[in-house]
Structure 1
Amino acid sequence: MDILRKLEILADAAKYDASCSSSGSRSRHSLGGKGVGSSEGSGICHAYAPDGRCISLLKILLTNFCIYECSYCINRNSSSVQRARFTVDEVVRLTLDFYKRNYIEGLFLSSGVIQSPDYTMAQLVEAARRLRLDHDFRGYIHLKTIPDADGELLAEAGRFADRLSINVELPTQIALDDLAPEKDHRTIKLSMARIRARQDEDAEQRRAARRTTNLTPKPKTLPRFAPAGQSTQMIVGAEPSTDAQILSTTANLYSSYKLKRVYFSAFSPIADASAKLPARRTPLMREHRLYQSDWLIRFYGYGHDEITAGSDDTAAAGMLDLDVDPKLGWALRNRGFFPVDLNRASREQLLRVPGLGVKSVNKLVKIRRWQKIRLEDLVALKAGIKKAMPFIVCANHHPGLQEIPSALLRSRFAPPAAAQQVFDF
């Protein structure tokens, strides 16, 4: 099989992995004639997928052969898909050729598991090692680590990759036992813990090096271990887990393993699927609401349990409301918290106001030290003033919040049914 046909097969097989963001990497470039490539993104030709995601990485699998039988995976052992496998040399050559043509800013490399987890992980690490050491490649590299791989291989991967990730796959061990019996949350989390331990060790070494900066000559900067951190991905809708369970697992991963991102992937039916799997795809709006909830947990101070907690039937069942965003949903279920006075409320209270983002809140806190906040200030900050108005009080705005029924407020901001259908399509 020629390399272009392999690329067609293995790039298509990699499209199901959403955790390929290049954010968080340290800046590297080849200015001055040293090395090849750049992780800064300048001059990169970006492509856009049909779902709107910006793609600027060569996103491929080393191989779509796999010894595992995960029911939800198109590349499972019993699947009838056409198989292909790159050599390490082919991965290196493709990455360099694509970069020199200004198509990409880096490499996202994953793989099915062949022979054993250690063998597969060693192949992935070797590709990254050759790019970094043999070709002085300075672009972005994201390696997907393999469950059960030896800790030393993970440590070596972190030397060459900007980001490491290992997919937790499903939110609960019960779901994993049912759909991916060869995989275990304990093994996956052990790998995450090893990566975090290496990150902590690296951070301590760098702090120790900074304490010696008074020496002459100045010590050489230590290379960072996986500077863009680690991430993971969960499949949504392949089994009955609720949004509350998914967000609980998400919050635990952030707190326990210092993950940079948890990605969500709406389940899509695959050929020759197991009868255990649903026949219809998960609405993309559910994936979108989970991403919004994830944002609230990471940047707005919400607890994972309060996002889905409430008295209405949908929230009581642990599912997010698909018609309104989770921040507005929380506000409608907690009317007693409002209205919030923009001139007196704490930053934490302001972050609970629908329509106000982190940047807008930070600017409001600064502005009100010198003047009273008025509606015109929200307009100047380009905040979501229409969504915020029913929930705030300021110098020239005092609404009668309790006079407006929650159902009316909800209908005002819920998208029309036709718009929802287009999004799901």
Structure 2
Amino acid sequence: MSAVLIVNSGSSSFKYQLIDMRTEQMLATGLVERIGDSSGHAVHTVPADAAGSPDATTERDLPIPDHTAGFRVMLDAFAENGPSLEQHPLLAVGHRVVHGGKRFFEPTLITDLVKINIEELAGLAPLHNPANLQGIEAAQEAFGDVPHVAVFDTAFHQTLSPASYSYAIDAKVAQKYRVRKYGFHGTSHKFVSEQAAAFVDRPLAELNQIVLHLGNGASASAIAGGRSVETSMGLTPLEGLVMGTRSGDLDPAVLVYLHRRAGMSVDEIDALLNRKSGLLGMSGANDMRDVLSRSAEGDENAILAFDVYIHRLKGYVGNYMAQLGRVDVIAFTAGVGENAAPVRAAALAGLEAFGIRISDERNTAKSRDARRISSDDSDVTVLVIPTNEELEIARQTMSIV
């Protein structure tokens, strides 16, 4: 047995990947969505093989009342379209879990007690942990005879110092309600920093890195010798950079002001900051491609949204340069980081005095591979590294199985 199934479960959907850990080759990937709606949707893809056959994708629309039914749909897709789970029997199932609090700092074999802890931590990630738990329980029902492992988004950032993770509020309140910075996107930051070290052919322990995970959700991290020493997301994934629909950093008095002045409830403010802010709130579009397109057409709201996005991003780069003292590598990753050359160029423009120089030709060249975009005379190596959180979860799952 060498196959690991990776599950990333949301409240009304889950993504999955089957990976052969002998070669780390993806054998299949899929998405089951609109769970609980009158008509669910399932996509299953078997990638092209060495013989040259193209990707084979099948799609189905059918009622999917809950996650357990969704896993049956997934099993049907494997049985009908391959690869056969009999020919690739599972060694384990690895699960992405967003919030592990202070309790979980490494991949963890899932037991009943672990599930209780994940549920208790739902107060810190109400949009994520309950959904992650739904996926775990459905997967255990489908695959009851193999170990299940939880890999936590917050785990990589457990190396933050108290000076980094502490908020300057009443210490008793902070301790009682577990108010501190936890950080997220940990699997991505860990994977990308290790890939960057391999790319520049230097030991991870020698490198100071800044990793910029820029997708619809966005976070930055400062990594010294493979250990996270600072990160932009905090108690929740709302803090930090401007994101697709999230505000990022905000004067906390804004919340009080909106409640008192506008009469907004806690739930309304929560929805505003998490779902109606960021690029969407400022420009009407949460996709960076649309923001860039509208900016090129002279849309003032889109131009301002882009400028605010870059201003915040550049500020974090400068902050982390100061925290690290020396930076060897800056790596861009995730949907925006890997594909939006104008974002990469603008984020590091004007930093030549700090040894950061971007090659326009390299930055604008189209590629899906890991690549260097800094010029030959740049003291800091700037890279684009495609992230692979599923493979990282699989590797961490294997580490304890």
What is the TM-score of this pair, normalised by structure 2? 0.28
Structure with more strand by fraction: 2
Greater relative CO, 1 or 2 (CA 8 Å, sep 6+):
2
What is the TM-score of this pair, normalised by structure 1? 0.27
Higher Cα radius of gyration: 1
